[in-house]
Structure 1
Amino acid sequence: MDKVWLVEFRNVGCTYFPQSRVDCHYTISQQHSWSSSDWIGLFKVGWTSAKDYETFVWALAPADYEEGTDVNCCVQFQASYLPKPSSQEYEFVYVDGKGEVCSRSSTFTFCAPKPLEDLVTLEEASHGEDEGTDMLLVVPRAELLQSRLQECLQERAKLLHEQEVAKRQKEEEREEYKRAKEAWDRQRRGLERDVTRLKEELTQSREKIEEIERKQKEEQTLGESLAQEKTALMNAKEASEARIRELEEDIRTLTQRAVERETEFERIKERAKRAVALRKEEESERKILKTKLEQTEAELRSLAKEFQSLRNSLAQRDTSVLQLQNSITTLTQKLTTAHRKEAESEASLKEMRSLRERLHMSERTAEGLKRDLSVMVAQRDHGQAEQHQAQLQAARLAIQLADVSMTLRKDSAHWEEERENLQRSAEMDHKRLEKLNAEIQRMEEKLQEERMERVKQEVELGREKDCNRVQLSETRRELQELKASLRVAQKEKELLQAEKRELMEYICQLEQKIGTVTTARWDAAPIASTGGPDPAVSDSEDESPEVLQILHSPRTLGHYSLCEQGQPDSLLLSTPPPSPRDMDRSAVVINQPAPLSLPHQAAANTLAHSSDSEEESDPVQCGRKSSGEEMALLLPEYKDTVLSDLADTSLW
């Protein structure tokens, strides 16, 4: 069973020509994980190691490649690195970054093209009645290349003419730019003068504003001092008014106290009168009680005398005991009543004593009230005097406050007028400053616009320079391609001459063998075949000895490797190692071209490298220019002679 490869090669031919590039088509399957270090090598059939490659290219993938999907890709093997025509079989091998073989193609060989294969077929649309049919023209490749060379020369002349026109325009633009720059410098100097003048005016206005602000600050300090004095006077006025209110309240309280004391004194007087009346009544009652007491004492004395008489007569009068007992009970009752009256009299005496004490206390309080009343009267007189003095002082303070308020109003009115004047002047200065700032801003905007225009002009000049450089590089590249095509044409011419000689020799041999052609005809044919191109070749060889070296001793290509072109270290690490057999070869070793880079490397490096190589190769190519042009002019004559000779032969 065939092995299932992760990468499949497509459209692989059986034979390829080494003079043209070879396209290698392949498909990356979804099982393969592509990396930038994958490469495709050209191997001989029967190779044993991945180092046995003849040449290689990096396996590229499209920019929108996504891992896990099938994608079709194509790489190209350049003609200058392909092996020579032989019967050796070759094959394409896909090797990943790890050195593992992922796919192998079918075998093929490299063979040289036949002489008739140098003819080129061109399709030309018919302009006649049959517009649907096309014509096939068979044209020699040399004639086609010569026509293309003439077209390229015409295009080169046009490009040179356009370059001269561009240079003239560039010089005119430079002169215009110089004039504009001088005008802009003049305007800039004028603007700088205006700016300096405006700055001076601004400094003067600032100094004036500072003086005005200084005066305003002084007036503010004066106003603040006046305001402080006013606040001090107002505080003193408030304090005096508060003192007056306190004194009035004290006077009111004193008058109320005096009234209350007078009322209390009247009440005490009434109480004293009542106490005197009660005392008089008590004295009368006392006198009555004294009389009653004397009467009871007299009765007691009489009773005692009677008791003694009765007691003396007890013994005598036993019969009258009951009567006496009754009289005794009555007397005892009277005695108890007398004792009760004595107790009542003692209580009344105690009450009299308390009344006397109260009377003494009331007299003392009356004396104290008299003293307090005299003191209160003195205090009232003193308070009235202080109140009168406070009223006088308040009137004086009110007069002073009115004077100060008048002066303050005058000062405030004057200050308000000065403040309004200062505000007006400040507003005028502010408006002037705004105008100056607006003018400065306009000037800055103009300067910015001029700078932008200058930058735009510089950018346009840079773009024109870049365009001119690109055009020069394109013309150089086209010239190099034309020179390369001339070299190829020269080589083809040499090959045609060699084939012609071989063909003529072969025809001569056949004619000699057959014996059908006369010797005179053969004498004329070599003269016509060798006499035409040899002088041209000799002339070109005399003029350019380098062409002789190319014709007689072609240079062999030296050993090529990727390290010779100054590639970066990352590229050196990712390139496959050279084959060990190539180190011992004396023949030409074909390898990948110098500007080989990684798959995703930018094209700018290759352009720079090609431009550098063109500049380095210009001196040699200029030396070969004259010989190449002469060879191109000799190509039609050589073509006519070859066709005439071939037409004369019997094999043609």
Structure 2
Amino acid sequence: METPAEAAATDPSARTFSQVVFTDISRSYPPSTAVTCSYTLAASFQPKARDWVGIFKVGWSTTKDYHTFVWVEPCVDVEGQQSVIRQAVFKDYYLPKDEIEFYQFCYIDSAGQVRGASTPFCFRNPAEQSMESSPDDDLLVITTQEQVDQSVREKAELQRELLQITEEKESLKRALEKEQQEAACLKSQDEQKEKERSQLVRELLQTKEENENLKGALKHQQEELDHLKEEMLTKRTEQVEVQRESAAEHEKEKYDRAVMKIKQLKEEREELRRRVDARSDEISSLNSKIREAERELFRMKDSVQLLQVDLQSSEKEKEKLSAEVQRLQGLMHNMDDVKRENQELCRRLSQQETPHSSPDDELKVQRQTLVCQLQEELAAEREASRNSKRKAEVLDRELLHVREQLEKMIGSHEQAERKSNKQELQLREAHEVIADKDSIIEDKEHLIMLLTNEKEELAKENKTLFSDIEGLRRVCADLQAAAPRMQPDSAPPAGAASSTCETPEQTENLYETIGSAAGPEEEPSLVCRHCQESFPFITRLELEQHEQSHRVCPFCTLICDGMEQSEFEDHVYSH
């Protein structure tokens, strides 16, 4: 198992931790005085403008736990030197006031990494330092057992920290020595690279002579290449003209179809509007009929209520008449009794009457008058009974007539309700038809918008095609104008090549020009922006025709080549 010092030596972080070494660090500094710390920079370490040195309490965990810091002074380039000794000065105002805790200096670079740390120290007065360091003084110190135990524990912790710091120091020294060895190895490698570079320069000088021999062949190939370019340009211009004519005819046919389709859609829209207007007139007439039926229904309801009131009054009158008839029937029974009494009285009078007696004459006169009165009363009663019967019959007929009218009104009311329900159903169906027509009109308008957008895109593509054709014509004219200017007198003399020494960058540029001139001119491969398929030997017009052959959703740019026309339209309408 390796020790902490060996682990620090093998750890890459420890390697960076040892790039700055603090020297001449005292065990204690007096408080309220400026403190100067010295540190040595490794040869491989290059300080930056944002590096800083900070005072940290022993046991810190992150670089943000500093007590105070100072920026590192800017310096000249120290790369390549063996070591550089620098200093950092901390003012007394910002120093810690605690005389018990231990602190250490740490060098932090601009990236926030620790590049070096010092041994622990504290801030104490010289008198306190001398008092602690003189064990022979006659000074009696009274402490408790807890304080003694605490001081023992602190001493043990300080000893462990001191041991750990010494191990870290040794590991840092070993890492520094290892870095110095690596720097020496790198130096030797740089020397070897310089030798290899000089050898490469010599090889490049040799290859220059071979390149001079190849330039004559390259000129001949260049002339043949120019001739081939001219032939290819003539063929390509002819192809572009043919393709442009075919594309223009195709675009014109497509535009004519779109215009015809738009006209047809406009005619359908006008027809739908006329139908909607006719249906709206029908709906308004139905609404007026429904309102009239409702008013008629309300009038019928009022007449039914009046008939019901008349029926109730006639029933009450009928009850009164029936009571009167019963009373008259009782009177007729009484009349029968009176008749019987009158007959009995007449019979008695006939038995008792004697001729030539004046009392009998009086009785007879009285009887006759009584009989006349009774007959008159009886006739009046009979007439009253006949009148009551006739009145009852009239009331019965009126009641039957009222009932018939009531039944007719109820039937007409039910018929009106059925008619109103039927009209409401027709009105609901008409509203549904109108809603369907509105949705169809919206779909047609959306389709018209899509067609107009497609027309605008086609116009834009046509403009781009014309611009591409103009660009090709300009390129063709430039190539024809540049062909006579290409002469073989641009080659440098052979003596100049042997007398001058070129750099490796110039030689690489020379190789690039030779490679570009030796190889045939390769056209860049074009890529479809929909299916991302590359076409190496294709023109821009052919690529645009290939892109137009795709069926692409104008909203989500989804390729719908495998969909049917109805599925594609449903997908577009779903947006």
Q: TM class by shorter-chain length?
A: under 0.3
What TM-score, normalized by structure 2, do the two folds share?
0.28
Q: Which has the higher contact order (CA 8 A, sep 6+)?
A: 1
